[in-house]
Amino acid sequence: MFVPKNIKYIYLTIKRKIRNFLLNTKGREFLIFLAFFFVAFGFWLLQTLKDDYQTEFSLPLRIKDVPNNIVITSEIPEQIQVSVRDRGTVLLNYIVSQNFNPITLDFKDYERRGNHIRILGPELGRIISSQLNSSTTLIGTKPDTIDIIYTQGESKKLPIHLSGRVNSTRQYYITDTIFSPDSINVYAPNSILDTLQYAYTDVINLQNISDTIKTEIPFMSIKGVKYVPNTVTVTFPVDIITEKTLEIPLIPVDFPQDKVLRTFPSRVKVTFHVGLNRFKTINPEDFVIIVPYEDLIRNTSDKYQLKLQSYPNGISYARIIPAEIDYLIEQLPEDGD
C-alpha cells in the first residue's frame, strides 16, 4: 500500500536518476542525437509536403428552405465524401483546420425541375470547389449524384406484407403473424404510388423458433418511397402442438325431395394438429363435410372420397378417417303408395 512518504521517496529517486543520466557523457550525447533527429525529420517533412498527394475528407450535406407541404421521399446522404489532389502542405491545412462549411442546397433553386431533382457531379463539384484552394484539383465525390424525390403530401395507406421465412421447431407451431401497426402511410409521387399494393418488409429468416418472438423490421427500400413509420413490430406467437380428434356428421347437399342419402358410416372422425391454447375452443361445428348429389351422380366408383369443405383457422394436418365412405341413394315412396 502506498503512503505519502513512499510516494515522495520514489519521486526523488526517479528524479535523481534522470538528472545523473543527463549530466553524464552518454546523456549529453543522447540529447544531441535527439536534436539532430528532430531537425532532420523537420527538413524531410517540409521536402515531402512539397509533392502532390491525394486525400479524402467528408463534408456535411444540408437542404434548406424546404416548404412545410413538401415531403422528401428519397434518402439524402448526410455526408459527401470528397476526393482532392494538391501539394501536401495544402492538404495538411485542410485536414488540420477543417474550416469547411456544409454543402448547402437551397430547395427553392431546384423545385422548378419537378418532383425528381438530380444534382449531377459537375454541379455538385462547382459548389464544393468554391471552398477549395485555387491550386486544388477536385477528383470526385461519393455519391457523385444527389437524387431529391419529393411529394406535395401525396400518400397511400398500405397493408403490410412479410418478406422472408419463419418456422418453428418440431412440436411447436407459429399460430399467427401480428403486425403493429397493421398498415402504414406511404409517401411518394403519384407515378410511384399507383404501382404499390403492399408495404413489403425487409427479408427476414427466423429458423427453429420455440418461443414467441417480437422483432422490429424495417421496410424494403424503394427509391422515392418514404414509409411512416419506417419500421413495423412483428410478433410471432408460438404454441405447443397437440392432436385432437372430433366426430363430424356428413351433410347431403342438393338432393331431390324424393331421394335420401345413406352413408356408411354416417359420421366420420377428423384428426388434426392444434395449439394447446386453442385445444378447447375447436368444436365439431367448426368443420363442414358435404356430400353433393351431383358428385355422387357423376361418381363411377362405389365409394366416395370425402374432403373438408371448411375448417377453423389455426389447425394443420387435418385428416378424415375414413377418407372414403360407402353410400346408397334411396328412392322415397311417392305419396299414396
* Segment 182-207 mean pLDDT: 94
Asked if residue 62 and residue 43 are part of one domain, the reply reads: no
Decide if pLDDT at 59 tops 90: no
Please check whether residues 309 and 232 belong to one and the same domain. no
* Residues 81-87, mean pLDDT to the nearest whole number: 85
Pair 230, 304: CB distance under 8 Å: no
Residue 18 has pLDDT above 80, yes or no: no
DSSP 8-state symbol, 171: T
Question: Which domain range does residue 92 map to?
Answer: 52-151
| Higher local confidence (pLDDT), 111 or 44 | 111
Residue at 135 is within a domain: yes
**What's residue 245's pLDDT?**
97
* pLDDT for residue 181 is more than 90: yes
Write the DSSP symbol of residue 69.
Answer: T
| Position 40 pLDDT exceeds 60 | no
Specify if 71 maps to a domain.
yes
From 126, 151, 176, the end of a domain falls on: 151
Average pLDDT of the segment spanning 235-260: 93
- The x, y and z cell numbers of residue 121, run together, are 457531379
Mean pLDDT over each residue of the chain, to the nearest integer? 85
Same domain, 56 and 146: yes
Which CATH number characterizes residue 216's domain? 2.170.120.40
Q: Label residue 41 by pLDDT band (50, 70, 90).
A: low
Q: Average pLDDT in the 128-138 region?
A: 83
More confident residue, 94 or 251: 251
Kindly state the cell numbers that stand for 185: 402511410
Q: Distance between CA atoms of 240 and 172, rounded to whole angstroms?
A: 5
Query: Residues with Cβ < 8 Å from 229, sequence gap 6 or more?
Result: 181, 184
Distance CA(121)–CA(99), nearest Å, equals: 23
Separation CA 322–CA 268 (nearest Å): 6
119-121-122 Cα angle (round to 5): 100
Q: Is residue 35 domain-shared with residue 101, that is, in the same domain?
A: no
pLDDT band at residue 58 under the 50/70/90 scheme: confident
pTM: 0.65
Domain assignment present for 337: no
Q: pLDDT (tens digit, 9 = 90+) per residue, 267-286?
A: 999 999 998 988 999 999 99
Confidence label for 159 from pLDDT (cuts 50, 70 and 90) = very high
| pLDDT tens, position by position, 301-322 | 889 999 999 999 888 889 999 9
How far is residue 303's CA from residue 299's CA, in Å, rounded to a whole number? 8
Residue 11: per-residue pLDDT = 61
* Residue 26, domain member (yes or no): yes
Does 39 reside within a domain?
Answer: yes
The DSSP secondary-structure symbol of 153 reads S
Q: Which residues of 279-290 are buried (b: 16+ CB within 10 A; e: fewer)?
A: eeebeeeebebe
Residue 9 is predicted with a pLDDT of 62
**Same domain assignment for residues 90 and 110:** yes
Do 319 and 247 fall into the same domain? Answer: yes
Contact indicator for 51, 88 with CB cutoff of 8 Å: yes
121 membership: H or E segment, kind and range: helix 121-129
The answer, yes or no, to whether residue 190 has pLDDT greater than 70, is yes
Assigned C-alpha cell, 315 = 389447425
Tell me the mean pLDDT in the region 57-79.
90
**pLDDT, tens digit (0-9, with 9 covering 90-100), for 164-174:** 999 999 889 88
Q: Are strands 324-331 and 289-292 parallel, antiparallel or unpaired?
A: unpaired
Q: Are residues 56 and 87 in the same domain?
A: yes
| Average pLDDT score over residue span 33-47 | 57
Q: Is the pLDDT of residue 45 over 70?
A: no
Q: Is residue 93 part of a domain?
A: yes
Q: Which residue has the cell 485542410?
A: 94
104 and 58, same structural domain? yes
- Per DSSP, the residues of 45-111 read HHHHTTSEEEEEEEEEEEEE---TT-EE-SPPPSEEEEEEEEEHHHHHHHHHH--PPPEEEEGGGTG
Q: Give percent of the chain above pLDDT 70.
A: 82
Q: Say if CB 236 and CB 283 are below 8 A apart.
A: no
Residues 217 and 173 in one domain: yes
- Looking only at the bridges linking them, the beta strands covering 226-228 and 172-174 are unpaired
- Cis peptide, bond prior to residue 322, ω within 30 of zero: yes
Q: What is the CATH classification number for the domain harbouring 264?
A: 2.170.120.30
84 and 44 within one domain: no
Residues 220 and 232 occupy one common structural domain? yes
What tens digit of pLDDT does each residue of 199-226 get?
Answer: 999 999 999 999 999 999 999 999 999 9
Please give the tally of structural domains in the chain.
Answer: 4
Specify whether the CB–CB gap between 232 and 261 falls below 8 A.
no
Residue 182 within any structural domain of the chain: yes
First to last CA, the chain: 120
Q: What is the pLDDT of residue 313?
A: 86
Higher pLDDT, 1 or 8: 8
**What pLDDT score does 205 carry?**
95
Phi/psi of residue 233, each to 5°? -90, 125
Residue 125 has a pLDDT of 86
- Say which amino acid occupies 305: Q
Per-residue pLDDT band at 89 (split at 50, 70, 90): confident
